[in-house]
Amino acid sequence: MNPKRIFITRTLTEDQVLYAKALGLEPVIQPALKVEIPENHEKLLKKLDRYQDAVWVFTSQNGAEVLRRVQDSEFRIQGFPVVYAVGEKTGEALAEIGIKAKVPDQQDAVGLAELINRDFQNNKPDIIHWCGNRRSDELGNKLKNGGFGYVDIEVYQTELNNIRIPDMKIDAVLFYSPSAVEAFRRSGGFDRNLPELFAIGNTTGEALSLESGKHVHIPSAPSTEALLELVAEILKTKAHSNVPLRRGLFI
């Protein structure tokens, strides 16, 4: 069986590419976003010093990478507060720095806000959100409505790439964020006949559905592995029956 060609708007690891191929998929990868992390962390450190009793929240691995760079610099932070991560992959990145982050069962902004609300029913600390310039307002709004002091610190910048839509036949397109959906739109991706569309989670799926007007497939867990498995299932390309399908929990 010929592999099904899938267009992916985010870089995959070598293992993820190999797993896609084992599932009978042929990835065509063009990252929709470019992330820039500033070398000067002075503004961040001043805010952290101002809110020393605040809880930290990370909604991407990029935020965790910023903290790693701070810890590798002369401004190394000694001691951490209570820390939350939106998903297991972000939690893993923080664990590599020595932080055990709390992760919600529902790995999105809604689940994260609900977990924080449950943990702090009686006292409402300030929440520091390590985020990028294109963050969603959903988490902040839910926390502020819950009575928390919400402080967002932009620790990295995200720019939209111009995506070159391939002329070859594509059987599916995979999206990892609403910003990737926007980059695809700006590049004219929705001005053509679309194949099957897939999104990593509900927020991205909603943005993709609104832009495309098409049904969007969303995996049961927000992980690349689960997303690839769903693509293989929908496209009926499980060419290797001996490949174990993993229901990962990693973003």
Q: Is the pTM of this model over 0.75?
A: yes
pLDDT tens digits, 51-91: 988 999 999 999 999 999 999 988 888 889 999 999 888 99
User: Domain residues for 205?
Assistant: 4-32+161-235
Is the backbone of residue 194 left (phi > 0), alpha (psi -120 to 50) or beta?
beta
Query: Mean of the pLDDT values across residues 151-158?
Result: 92
Q: For 80-104, what is the HEC assignment?
A: CCCEEECCHHHHHHHHCCCCCCECC
**pLDDT of 243 above 70:** no
64 and 108 fall within a common domain? yes
**Which of 158, 189, 211 is the last residue before a domain boundary?**
158
**Domain CATH code at residue 183:** 3.40.50.10090
82 and 59 fall within a common domain? yes
Q: How far apart, in whole angstroms, are the C-alpha atoms of residue 114 and residue 96?
A: 26
**pLDDT of 22 above 90:** yes
Q: 242 pLDDT band (50/70/90 cuts)? A: very low
104 and 79 fall within a common domain? yes
pLDDT tens digits, 164-199: 888 889 999 999 999 999 999 999 999 888 999 999
Mean pLDDT of the residues in the chain: 89
**pLDDT of 3 above 90:** no
109 and 176 fall within a common domain? no
172 and 145 fall within a common domain? no
CB 249 within 8 A of CB 221: yes
106 and 204 fall within a common domain? no
For residue 78, what pLDDT is reported?
A: 85
- DSSP structural state of residue 38: -
**Which of 113, 128, 158 is the last residue before a domain boundary?**
158
- Within-domain flag for 247: no
- Within-domain flag for 242: no
**pLDDT of 250 above 80:** no
H-run or E-run covering 131: strand 126-132
136 and 148 fall within a common domain? yes
The token duo for 222 is 């927000």
For residue 239, what pLDDT is reported?
A: 43
pLDDT tens digits, 101-143: 999 999 889 999 999 999 999 899 999 999 999 888 899 999 9
Please state the domain count of the chain.
2
**pLDDT of 150 above 60:** yes
